[in-house]
Structure 1
C-alpha cells in the first residue's frame, strides 16, 4: 500500500496542478535537445532526461522522481535498521506535510536530485556492505546522474568525498576505503556523462559554460564589479565601462532581466570580459572577496523557503514549450500554476521554521556526538548532512548568490535525519520497556 500511496503523495502538487510544476530554468534544460548548443548552467544530461519523458507530458519524469525518492528514503531507513512498516509511512508523511520535498519532486528541475544524491552517496560509502550488488550499482548510477545535472550538486558531492578522504584515517575503520573510492568514482562517471552528452548534442567536448558569468553576477551584487570598473576604466577599454553607473543592483536583474547585459551580447558578447573581471577582482580585492563570501554563505544558510522561481511569470519556459512542444501548450496553460498564485508565503510559515529547526537539530546531533566521542552511524549521517548544508551554502551563496531555492533543495534532508533520530529514540525506548522483567 505504501509503495503506491507514498509516490502519489510525493507528486501531489503536480497532480493537483494538472501538469508538472515549471520553473524559470526548466525551459533552458528542455531546449538542449532541440537547439544543439551549450548554454550557461544548463546541463545537457538533465535536458536529455526531460526529453525522455516529454511524450507523456513529463509524467514519466514525475514517476521517476517520486519512485527514486521513495527508494532512497526506504533504503536509508533500512541501513539504519528501521525495518518496521510504520516508520517509513510516518516519516514520509511528515516530510510531505512539513518540508519542500513534494514540491521538489513535482517540479521539472534538478533540485530534487541534490538531496537524494547526498543520501545515496552516504549509503554507498558508509553502508555499501549492507546492500546488494544491484543496489550498489543502482546507487552508483543514480549519484553519477545527479552529479551531472548541476555543477553545484557535483561540487557538494566532491566536497563530501574530499572530507571523507581527509577523515578516513581518524575514523577507526568506520568508513571503508573501498566504499569511499566507489563514491568518488561516481563523480568521475558523472563528469564523463556530462562531457559525453555535451559532445553528442553540440559537437563540443567541453564543460557546461557559465561559471564566470554566474560568479560575475554575485560580485556585481556585492559591489565588487563597480569598484573594479571605477579603478580600471580610465586605463582599460572595457565594454562595461560606459555603463558602470547604470548596472542593476542584483545579479538576477543583470543576467535575466532587461539590462545592459542583453545589449552587449549576453554571455557570448561579455563572457571573456566577465572572466577577466572575476579573476582580477579575486587577486586585487582578497579581503573584500572573503568578507563577501562569509556573508553570502551565512545568508544562504538561512534562505530555505519553498517555491522560489515557481510562482512567477516564467516567460522563457513558456516560450520553449510553445516553440518545441506545441501539443503541450493547452494542458500547460490550463494548469493551476499558470492561472493562480500558489500561496507559498502561507506554506513557508510552516516550511521555513521546520527547515531551520531541523538544520539546527542535525548540527546539534553532530556536535553532541563529537563532545561525547561517539562515532555511530547516526553521527556519520549527521556529519554528512551538516557538511552538505555548509558546502551547499558556500558553493551556491558565493558563486551564484543566496537564494531560497538553493537552501530548500537540501533542508528537507536535515528534517529526514532529525526524524530518523526521533524514531530511533522511541524504538529503543519501546525495546527497553519490553525487555524489562515483569
Structure 2
C-alpha cells in the first residue's frame, strides 16, 4: 500500500512538471488544426440537438461568405438531422474532411463547454504521467520500490514532452500509443487488472484520436506478429488488435454519420498524391498523362498546382485542393489511389528514393518551433470565437515570445546521450538490462522508426511529427539506469534467509 502511495505521489508531481510549459506560456498551445477538431464536434451537436455555440455561429458566417447555402433542419420530420437546402446545387455541399477525429474533438469541446482549455492540458498531463511512470517501473523492475523512479521526473524538464501535453492536438497520444503497444505485448500477463484496463483504454483512445496512430499501431502489430512467429516469443497481441478494431470502427461510424447527415462520405485529403507531386515523380507523370488526354481531375489544375505539398493541400488558391470546388475535391480524393499506383509503376526507383530521403529527414527533425510559435504555425486568430481569441492573445506563443530555444538546444544532446546509454547497457552490458527491458526498448525504437516512416513518406516532414515521440528515448534510458542500480542480493544464509 505504501508503494502505491509513493507511485501516486510521483504521478502527481510529474503531472505538475508536465504542465510547466503551459504555465510558462500563460495558457495552452493552439495549432491551426485545433479549431477543425472542435468545429467537427460542434456541427454534430448542432445537428443532433440544435444547440448552437460561438463555434457554430462562426462556422455559419464562414459558410455564408463562401457562397454555399447553409444547411437547414429537415422540415417536420422530427429527426433533428441537417438536410441540404433545396437551392444547393448537386455536389456543392461543403466537403467534410476525415482525419480530424471527432473523438479527440469531443475532449476539446467538453473543455470549452467547461470554460477553459486548461482541462485538456490537465487530462493529458495526468494520463501521460501515469503512462510514463507505469512504463518506467516495469522497465526498471521497480515494482516494490517506486521511490527509486524519481530520476524519471527529469524527462519533463529536459525534453519537449510538456509541450505536447500543453498542445491542443492529439500529438501526445502518438508516443503513448507506442508505450501501450510495448506494455501490452510484453507484460500483459504480469499486469494487474487495473493496469491492463488503463493501457488498453489508452491504446484504443490513441487509435480513435488520429488515423496516423492507427497506421503506426497496425504496422507495429505486424512486426510483433513476425517477431512472435520467428522467435516463438510469448507476446500478447489480441488486445492490440482489438484496440485497432475500435479505432477502425470509430472511423467507420464517423463516415456513416457524415453520409447520413450530408449525403456524401467524408473526404480524406490526398496526402500521398501531394507528396508524390511535390517530390517530382507525381508531377512528371501528371504532365505526360495529361498531355496524352488523361481524364484525371488534377489535369484541370496541372499548371497551377503549387510546388509545396502543404500549399497544395491547405492553401485556398486555384490548383490547391482546398481551393477546388467541392465536387472536384471529391473526385481528386477518389482518384488518388489509382494515381499513386500509376506513379509507382511509372517511376518505382524514384518514388522509393524520395520516400527514403523524406523518412531520413523526418527521423532527424526534433525541433519545436512549429509548436511553440503560433505565428510560425500560421494560426488564424480571426477564426477564433472572441473569448478563445482573447485567451490566445494573452499567451507568449501568440507573441512569438515562448522560449522554445531551450528545448531546441537540449533536443540533440539529450537524445543522443539517451541513445548511447541504451546501446551501451543493451549491448555492452547485457547483464544490466533484462530480456524484457531489451524487448521493450526494441519495440519503442521500432515505433519511433515507424512514426518517421509514416509521417515522412505519406506527408511532408515536420519537426512536430518526430519531436512528439523522440522523448521516449530519454524516458527509457532513465528507466533502465534506475533499474541497473539495484543492490546485489546478499547470499541467503541457511534455509530460512530471505532475499533483499
Normalised by the length of structure 2, the TM-score is: 0.77
> Is 1:144–2:207 an aligned residue pair?
no
Q: Point out the more displaced range, 237-246 or 296-305.
A: 237-246
Contact 1:110 1:149 in 2 (8 A): yes
Contact 1:304 1:355 in 2 (8 A): no
The 3 A distance-change label for structure 1 pair 183 and 340 is same
**Structure 2 residue corresponding to 1:414, chosen from 473, 484, 500:** 473
> Is 1:91–2:91 an aligned residue pair?
no
Contact 2:310 2:460 in 1 (8 A): no
Q: Which residue of 1 aligns with 2:444?
A: 385
Within 5 A, what are the aligned runs for 1:167-206? Answer: 167-173=227-233, 175-176=234-235, 179-200=236-257, 203=260
Contact 1:300 1:403 in 2 (8 A): yes
> Is 1:351–2:411 an aligned residue pair?
yes
The 3 A distance-change label for structure 1 pair 207 and 85 is farther
Deviations 1:116-175 (A, max 9, x none): 1111222122111222212212221110110111122111111221111111134454x3
Q: Point out the more displaced range, 245-254 or 113-122.
A: 245-254
**Structure 2 residue corresponding to 1:222, chosen from 267, 276, 279:** 279
Q: Which residue of 1 aligns with 2:346?
A: 284
Note the C-alpha offset of 1:258: 4.5
Deviations 1:20-61 (A, max 9, x none): 111122121111112347314211211112112222312221
Within 5 A, what are the aligned runs for 1:172-321? Answer: 172-173=232-233, 175-176=234-235, 179-200=236-257, 203=260, 209-210=267-268, 213-235=270-292, 236-241=294-299, 243-259=301-317, 260-261=319-320, 262-265=322-325, 267-268=329-330, 270-313=332-375, 318-321=381-384
Contact 1:296 1:398 in 2 (8 A): yes
Deviations 1:360-397 (A, max 9, x none): 6546666669x99x970111011101111111111111
Contact 2:184 2:196 in 1 (8 A): yes
Deviations 1:56-98 (A, max 9, x none): 3122211111111111112112323224344433212x21121
Contact 1:300 1:396 in 2 (8 A): yes
Normalised by the length of structure 1, the TM-score is: 0.87
Q: Secondary structure at the match of 1:24?
A: coil
The 3 A distance-change label for structure 1 pair 358 and 136 is same
> Is 1:50–2:108 an aligned residue pair?
yes
Note the C-alpha offset of 1:409: 1.2
> Is 1:21–2:29 an aligned residue pair?
yes
Note the C-alpha offset of 1:9: 1.3
The 3 A distance-change label for structure 1 pair 99 and 207 is farther
Contact 2:28 2:118 in 1 (8 A): yes
> Is 1:132–2:192 an aligned residue pair?
yes
The 3 A distance-change label for structure 1 pair 340 and 366 is same
**Structure 2 residue corresponding to 1:432, chosen from 488, 492, 496:** 488
The 3 A distance-change label for structure 1 pair 403 and 206 is farther
Q: Secondary structure at the match of 1:130?
A: coil
Supply the RMSD in Å over aligned alpha carbons: 3.0
Unaligned runs of 5+ in 1: none
Q: Secondary structure at the match of 1:391?
A: helix
Structure ID, larger Rg: 2
The 3 A distance-change label for structure 1 pair 268 and 67 is same
The 3 A distance-change label for structure 1 pair 272 and 77 is closer
Contact 1:45 1:194 in 2 (8 A): no
Contact 2:315 2:323 in 1 (8 A): no
Contact 1:27 1:316 in 2 (8 A): no
Q: Point out the more displaced range, 399-408 or 198-207.
A: 198-207
Tell me the matched-pair count: 424
Note the C-alpha offset of 1:357: 4.3
Q: Point out the more displaced range, 137-146 or 164-173.
A: 164-173
Note the C-alpha offset of 1:332: 2.2
Contact 2:32 2:379 in 1 (8 A): yes
Within 5 A, what are the aligned runs for 1:70-81? Answer: 70-80=129-139, 81=141
Q: Which residue of 1 aligns with 2:394?
A: 334
**Structure 2 residue corresponding to 1:165, chosen from 221, 225, 229:** 225
Unaligned runs of 5+ in 2: 1-8, 45-94, 494-500
Contact 1:41 1:208 in 2 (8 A): no
> Is 1:5–2:13 an aligned residue pair?
yes
The 1-side partners of 2:476 and 2:108 are apart by 30
Note the C-alpha offset of 1:8: 1.5
Contact 2:17 2:157 in 1 (8 A): no
